[in-house]
Structure 1
Amino acid sequence: MTDTTTRPPAADTTTIRTREHQIARRTRFAGWGEPVALVAAMVVLVVVFSLLNPRFATFGNLQNILDQATVPLIVGVGATLVILLGSIDLSVEGVMGASGMAWILLSANSRGGLDLGPWAWVVALAVGAALGWVSGLIFTRLKVPSFIVTLGIWYVGLGVATILFGTSAIPTLTDDSLSTLSSQTALGLPNGFLLAVGVVVLGVLLLRYTRFGRLTLAIGDNEAIARSAGMPVARIKTAVFIVAGVLSGLAGIIATMKLGAGSATVGTGTLFLVIPAVVIGGTSLGGGRGGILRTVLGVFLLTVLSNGLILSGVSPSFQSAVSGAILVAAIVAAAWSQRNRLRIAK
């Protein structure tokens, strides 16, 4: 019997391999191109703002930038995990308010009442976890889009925070060591920022080296294949929303600590900073592609921009317009290489 298998000519095989190598090189370049572009943009901003105001380049202002980046870095880790699923979490500000109010009312405050010490942290984080669990449960079991679910949970959290805030005097921290804990420095770095670094490191390790992280990426990349492979899709999605809720709760505690007083709206503005930072960092809104370290770059880019505009004396009425224009340009630049595969978040 003769072998009728058709083999491509040697020249064609060489051409195919050459094209494969070219595609691989372009893929590697695209992977590195976005972070390099972000770093370059940040360097340009630093140079421009340093020329506009010499105070920008001082060590004291560097500490301010790191301190300002603390809350969005913590929230950004959870937001990145959710977006890697191909979903989105809009409940951040409500969860921050509820957890922050729970924490301050259970710590040494001007209203008195219980002072649970470290247990106040546990209860506040549990509040964040519970709100995240409710989001995940409704999303996975009732099949309600994450956009709608988390928008509702945002207002649930805000309502809880408002009820806890009450109508009496504003609760303020009476323990000076507690109110200054986040802004105090160790090795020249704010304690809050060091905590954020720890959260980022744990997030990276979780995403890269655990089954939970691999399943999160697999579900975001192609949920249908993940289901057909027998992956526990609903459990992983719910777990991701719980993690995001806990981190939003932690951010609410830190923000309340910085403020030194309870506020139902302590998280105001955080969502506008975090979600763009994740997208600017190169994490696909369609899920499955991106990472936490990319979000870190996005957070620092936007934090440097905000800090520089303030020190440069830009009027508050123009800061939003300038930030928005630069934000749109940055998103277009960061997402350009993904324009053919971006899809609407699930």
Structure 2
Amino acid sequence: MTNTTERPPVADTTAIRTREHHIARRTRFSGWAEPAALVGAMVVLVIVFSLLNPRFASVSNLQNILDQATVPLIVGVGATLVILLGSIDLSVEGVMGAAGMAWILLSANTRGGPDLGPLAWIIALAVGAALGWLSGVIFTRLKVPSFIVTLGIWYVGLGVATILFGTESIPTLTDDALSTWSSQTTAGIPNGFWLAVGVVVLGALLLRYTRFGRLTLAIGDNEGIARSAGMPVARIKTAVFLVAGLLSGLAGIIATMKLGAGSATVGAGTLFLVIPAVVIGGTSLGGGRGGILRTVLGVFLLTLLSNGLILSGVSPSFQSAVSGAILVVAIVAAAWSQRNRLRIAK
């Protein structure tokens, strides 16, 4: 009996293997080239700003940079997980405000009331997690685009924070040790930054070595295949948004602690630093590619830029213009090669 199965010519097989080898090599090169370019850009910024103002490279200013990076790093872990799904979380600032106000009102403050100590942290984190969970449920169950859902939750969180703020005097922390904890140093590093490092490490381990992390990447890479393979897509998406809300809540507590007083807008400006940092770090807006350690590089690049512009005497208006330009360029550059994958419904 004659075997009618056709086999590709040896030359074609060799060509296919050669092409696959070149693609794999380009992928490996890209994986190293992008972080290396970010590190190179940071080195250039350090040199330029040090020449413009010698105070930039001082130990005290380096500690200040680490302190400034604390909140964006914490929020960036959650934002990276959401973007790896191919979604977006715009609720950050509202969630930070709600959690921060809940925390300070349940801690020792000038308004009085109960001082719940560690329980205040748990309740405030629960507020952030609940808002994140609500975003995930509406997104997955009602099929509303994530940017619309989270934009709405932003204002829900802001409303909660405003109600908690009320019309009385501004609540300020009465415990000096608590209000200065984040900026105090341990081994020369601000305590808040040590906390951010812990969050980053846990997030990176979660993404790389757990089933939750693998499913997050798989869903972001191709949701259709993930569904056909029987993966719990809705449950994983909801869990990712919950984690993002929890981390935004933690960031709100730290930001409120650094401010020393309650504010419904304590997270103002955080979103427009974190999202560019995630994209600049190389996490794909289409989902499925990138990582938390890349986001760390993006956060440091933007923090160095902001700090250097301030020390160089650049006006706040020009700083806003530079930040906006970086945001546009970063998103266009990241999205252009994947424009066919991006869908507004994601």
Q: So what's the TM-score if we normalise by structure 1? A: 0.96
Contact 1:88–1:147 (CA under 8 A) maintained in structure 2:
yes
Q: Which residue of 1 aligns with 2:262?
A: 262
- In the alignment of these two chains, the number of paired residues is 345
Q: Which moved more, 1:145-154 or 1:314-323?
A: 314-323
Which aligned pairs between 1:203-214 and structure 2 lie closer than 5 A? 203-214=203-214
The CA deviation at 1:7 is 3.6
The CA deviation at 1:17 is 2.0
Encode CA deviations 1:272-299: one digit per residue, 9 max, x unaligned: 0001111111111111111101111111
Between the aligned partners of 2:271 and 2:53, the Cα distance in structure 1 is: 28
The CA deviation at 1:330 is 4.5
Q: Which moved more, 1:121-130 or 1:41-50?
A: 41-50
Between the aligned partners of 1:297 and 1:162, the Cα distance in structure 2 is: 34
Q: Which residue of 2 aligns with 1:16?
A: 16
Q: Which residue of 1 aligns with 2:103?
A: 103
* Local SS of the residue matching 2:261: coil
Contact 2:55–2:61 (CA under 8 A) maintained in structure 1:
yes
Between the aligned partners of 2:326 and 2:45, the Cα distance in structure 1 is: 11
| CA 1:180–1:35: 2 relative to 1, 3 Å | same
Between the aligned partners of 2:249 and 2:315, the Cα distance in structure 1 is: 32
* Local SS of the residue matching 2:238: helix
Encode CA deviations 1:190-239: one digit per residue, 9 max, x unaligned: 00000000000000011111111111111111111111111111111111
Between the aligned partners of 2:158 and 2:339, the Cα distance in structure 1 is: 38
Between the aligned partners of 1:40 and 1:277, the Cα distance in structure 2 is: 16
Between the aligned partners of 2:280 and 2:37, the Cα distance in structure 1 is: 10
Contact 1:65–1:307 (CA under 8 A) maintained in structure 2:
yes
Q: Which residue of 2 aligns with 1:283?
A: 283
Matched, 1:135 2:135: yes
Q: Which residue of 2 aligns with 1:33?
A: 33
The CA deviation at 1:11 is 3.4
Between the aligned partners of 1:135 and 1:43, the Cα distance in structure 2 is: 39
What amino acid maps onto 1:243 in structure 2? V
* Local SS of the residue matching 1:112: coil
Q: Which residue of 2 aligns with 1:228?
A: 228
The CA deviation at 1:342 is 5.0
What amino acid maps onto 1:206 in structure 2? L
Encode CA deviations 1:6-28: one digit per residue, 9 max, x unaligned: 34443333332222211111111
Which aligned pairs between 1:51-62 and structure 2 lie closer than 5 A? 51-62=51-62
Between the aligned partners of 1:215 and 1:6, the Cα distance in structure 2 is: 37
Between the aligned partners of 1:237 and 1:78, the Cα distance in structure 2 is: 12
The CA deviation at 1:341 is 5.7
Encode CA deviations 1:107-157: one digit per residue, 9 max, x unaligned: 010011000001000000000011111111111111111111111110010
Q: Which residue of 2 aligns with 1:292?
A: 292
The CA deviation at 1:331 is 4.6
The CA deviation at 1:33 is 1.8
Q: Which residue of 2 aligns with 1:309?
A: 309
RMSD: 1.5
Between the aligned partners of 1:303 and 1:17, the Cα distance in structure 2 is: 44
Q: Which moved more, 1:91-100 or 1:135-144?
A: 135-144
What amino acid maps onto 1:263 in structure 2? S
Q: Which moved more, 1:325-334 or 1:243-252?
A: 325-334
Question: What 5-or-longer segments of structure 1 have no aligned partner?
Answer: none
Q: Which residue of 1 aligns with 2:45?
A: 45
Q: Which residue of 2 aligns with 1:343?
A: 342
| CA 1:219–1:330: 2 relative to 1, 3 Å | closer
Between the aligned partners of 1:326 and 1:287, the Cα distance in structure 2 is: 21
Between the aligned partners of 2:128 and 2:291, the Cα distance in structure 1 is: 23
Q: Which residue of 2 aligns with 1:241?
A: 241
Matched, 1:173 2:168: no
The CA deviation at 1:4 is 4.2
| CA 1:342–1:68: 2 relative to 1, 3 Å | farther
What amino acid maps onto 1:104 in structure 2? I
* Local SS of the residue matching 1:183: coil
What amino acid maps onto 2:60 in structure 1? G
* Local SS of the residue matching 2:173: coil
What amino acid maps onto 1:200 in structure 2? V
Contact 1:305–1:323 (CA under 8 A) maintained in structure 2:
no
The CA deviation at 1:344 is 3.5
Between the aligned partners of 2:224 and 2:329, the Cα distance in structure 1 is: 34
Contact 1:66–1:190 (CA under 8 A) maintained in structure 2:
yes
Contact 2:104–2:261 (CA under 8 A) maintained in structure 1:
yes
Between the aligned partners of 1:165 and 1:291, the Cα distance in structure 2 is: 36
Encode CA deviations 1:236-295: one digit per residue, 9 max, x unaligned: 111111100100000000000000000000000000000111111111111111110111
Q: Which moved more, 1:20-29 or 1:75-84?
A: 20-29
| CA 1:256–1:334: 2 relative to 1, 3 Å | same
What amino acid maps onto 1:343 in structure 2? L
* Local SS of the residue matching 1:173: coil
Between the aligned partners of 2:288 and 2:116, the Cα distance in structure 1 is: 41
| CA 1:140–1:329: 2 relative to 1, 3 Å | closer
